[in-house]
A and B are shown apart, each in its own frame.
Chain A
Amino acid sequence: MTPFELVEPASLGEAIALLDPEDAGVRPIAGGTALMLMMKAGVFRPTRLVSLRKLARLNARIAATSDGALTIGAMTPLALVERSPEVARIVPVIPRAMRRLSNIRVRNVATIGGNLAHGDPHMDLPPLLIALNAEVKVVGANGAQAAERMIAVEALFTGYFETVLAKNELIAELRIPPQGRSRAAYLKVTTGSAEDWPALGVAVALESEGSAVKSARVVVSAATEKATRLKGVERLLAGATVDEKMFARAGDAAAEEAECMTDVRGSAAYKRELTRVYVGRALRQALNSDGATR
């Protein structure tokens, strides 16, 4: 890796002042697992990294409210989220998805904030958090004033490794709203080895009443340039009767709607077929789970 300056500010104001909205060579670093890969490959050669480890505002914490909302500090390592009893109770789909997210060592170090801020469309949590209707609290500067805003995870990604975050903005925390009677599933397909980046990720969350779907959120990732909701599929599902025909129709509609891209993990045509099959499977898995969000 090429040399760089590493600064470890202790206050948020200091951290934001050390970031530079105009300089792509200056970036925040949290756990660093993803950035280290980019730096080792030489695709990212920073001049300065601003460590977020000493910022109390972002620190590792998981809190649940009595109505079932979760707040997770941006610097919380994925392994803590994976092992949290509150997370397991409120959104068990998250620890289930974590089992196939990289490996234990990476989950011990990678953080929930970094996972989202990186904007990598191959990651597992962004599509799932979009399906769960999560949002992030973002802190930054507005002139000399500290400023914060809430952004839906759905609106966070603008393209391949691109987000709406300014270069001097930081994700402070993740909020997952109460899931009520909604049920969720996340499936991914790796076409190389099991630990490879996926060719496709599918996240669904839906509510059903009797034999009808009330509402659904369907998200695809990895095959597309960013994690993307399939709103046409969601409209098709609202009010539909739960049966095998519905799974097949939703799969067909998803293959039509998803803008799949060709890369080393498969052609666009192949990923469309994967989407067709896996959207149906994800819906079936969500509906077969026992009431709580899975």
Chain B
Amino acid sequence: MTRTISFTLNGEQVAAEIKPHHNLVEVLQREFNLMGARESCGQGMCGCCTVLVNGAAVSGCLYLAAFVDGAEVRTVESLADARTQALSPVQEAFIEAGAFQCGYCTPGFLLMATQLLEAYPDPDEEQIRHYLSGNLCRCAAYPEIIAAVKLAARRRKANSVG
């Protein structure tokens, strides 16, 4: 029951041989060696497996890989500039604010924070808390994560004005 799916992965056209019961995280790890999206709670609650499918954040552990056939998929690995490897403003802000300890949840927070700033370029604390409420950080770096999002928002604003 193997099937071939074709999709765009971080801007590149790719194909993979998968089985219908494989989830998206398994395929990204096994077929493409992309380890940023990782399974933690396995129930869509913690956000460690966040992947963008056609521009929308999904829990990769609850998403059948077969369903990305023909889709545009982005992972945390696409946030840094492909040519220069320069980190994105959100990534830089997470480092500066010390918004992690063990780092296991960080890829999910980075993608969700990036989405958040697309939707709300100038978010207030309530919007940040609400948007990120589906991501869990077991080291409880929440205050630093919120500070990082605010910092990234200021940077983005300054960059777009400048």
| A and B assemble together | yes
**Provided the pairs A2-B21, A5-B1, A194-B133 are in contact, do residues A36 and B64 lie with their beta carbons within 8 angstroms?**
yes
Question: From A195, which residue of chain B is reached at the shortest CB distance?
Answer: B45
- Does any Cβ of B come within 8 Å of A6's Cβ? yes
Instruction: Verify B21–A32 contact, CB threshold 8 A.
Output: no
Instruction: Verify B23–A36 contact, CB threshold 8 A.
Output: yes
- Does any Cβ of A come within 8 Å of B98's Cβ? no
- Does any Cβ of A come within 8 Å of B50's Cβ? yes
Instruction: Verify B66–A6 contact, CB threshold 8 A.
Output: yes
**Provided the pairs A3-B20, A4-B21, A5-B20 are in contact, do residues A105 and B57 lie with their beta carbons within 8 angstroms?**
yes
* Least Cβ–Cβ distance between A28 and chain B, in angstroms: 13
Instruction: Verify B1–A32 contact, CB threshold 8 A.
Output: no
- Does any Cβ of B come within 8 Å of A163's Cβ? no
- Does any Cβ of B come within 8 Å of A56's Cβ? no
Chain A hits for B50, CB < 8 A: 105
Instruction: Verify A105–B47 contact, CB threshold 8 A.
Output: yes
Interface membership of chain A positions 100-142, coded 1 if the CB is closer than 8 angstroms to chain B and 0 otherwise: 0011111011000000000000000000000000000000000
Q: Which of B1-40 contact A (CB under 8 A)?
A: 1, 19-21, 23
- Does any Cβ of B come within 8 Å of A79's Cβ? yes
- Does any Cβ of B come within 8 Å of A33's Cβ? yes
* Least Cβ–Cβ distance between A204 and chain B, in angstroms: 24
Instruction: Verify A32–B63 contact, CB threshold 8 A.
Output: yes
- Does any Cβ of B come within 8 Å of A166's Cβ? no
- Does any Cβ of A come within 8 Å of B103's Cβ? no
**Provided the pairs A32-B62, A103-B47 are in contact, do residues A1 and B133 lie with their beta carbons within 8 angstroms?**
no
- Does any Cβ of A come within 8 Å of B130's Cβ? yes
Chain B hits for A106, CB < 8 A: 44, 59, 62, 134
CA distance A77 to B16 in the complex (A): 26
**Provided the pairs A103-B134, A104-B134, A106-B59 are in contact, do residues A32 and B47 lie with their beta carbons within 8 angstroms?**
no
Instruction: Verify B21–A195 contact, CB threshold 8 A.
Output: no
CA distance A8 to B66 in the complex (A): 10
Instruction: Verify B64–A32 contact, CB threshold 8 A.
Output: yes
Instruction: Verify A105–B44 contact, CB threshold 8 A.
Output: yes
Q: Which of A1-22 contact B (CB under 8 A)?
A: 1-6, 8
Instruction: Verify A195–B134 contact, CB threshold 8 A.
Output: yes
* Least Cβ–Cβ distance between A98 and chain B, in angstroms: 11
CA distance A238 to B5 in the complex (A): 57
Q: Give the interface centre of B130, B131, B133 by most chain A CB atoms within 10 Å.
A: B133
Instruction: Verify A79–B56 contact, CB threshold 8 A.
Output: yes
Chain B hits for A109, CB < 8 A: 56, 58-59, 62-63
Chain B hits for A4, CB < 8 A: 20-21
CA distance A53 to B54 in the complex (A): 15
- Does any Cβ of A come within 8 Å of B112's Cβ? yes
* Least Cβ–Cβ distance between A285 and chain B, in angstroms: 19
Instruction: Verify B62–A36 contact, CB threshold 8 A.
Output: yes
Interface membership of chain B positions 56-94, coded 1 if the CB is closer than 8 angstroms to chain A and 0 otherwise: 111101111011000000000000000000000000000
Instruction: Verify A37–B56 contact, CB threshold 8 A.
Output: no
- Does any Cβ of B come within 8 Å of A61's Cβ? no
Interface membership of chain B positions 96-127, coded 1 if the CB is closer than 8 angstroms to chain A and 0 otherwise: 00000000000000001001000000000000
Instruction: Verify B20–A105 contact, CB threshold 8 A.
Output: no
* Least Cβ–Cβ distance between B128 and chain A, in angstroms: 12
Q: Give the interface centre of A33, A39, A103 by most chain B CB atoms within 10 Å.
A: A103
Question: From A49, which residue of chain B is reached at the shortest CB distance?
Answer: B20
Please give the residue numbers on chain B whose beta carbons come within 8 Å of chain A beta carbons, in ascending order.
1, 19-21, 23, 42-45, 47, 50, 56-59, 61-64, 66-67, 112, 115, 130-131, 133-135
What are the nearest 4 A-B pairs in CB distance?
A103-B134, A6-B20, A108-B56, A36-B62
Given contacts A103-B45, A108-B58, 19 further A-B contacts (CB under 8 A): A2-B21, A3-B19, A3-B21, A4-B21, A6-B20, A32-B64, A32-B67, A33-B59, A36-B64, A37-B44, A39-B21, A49-B20, A51-B66, A102-B44, A103-B134, A104-B131, A106-B62, A106-B134, A195-B133
Please give the residue numbers on chain A whose beta carbons come within 8 Å of chain B beta carbons, in ascending order.
1-6, 8, 29, 32-33, 36-37, 39-40, 49, 51, 53, 77, 79, 99, 102-106, 108-109, 194-195
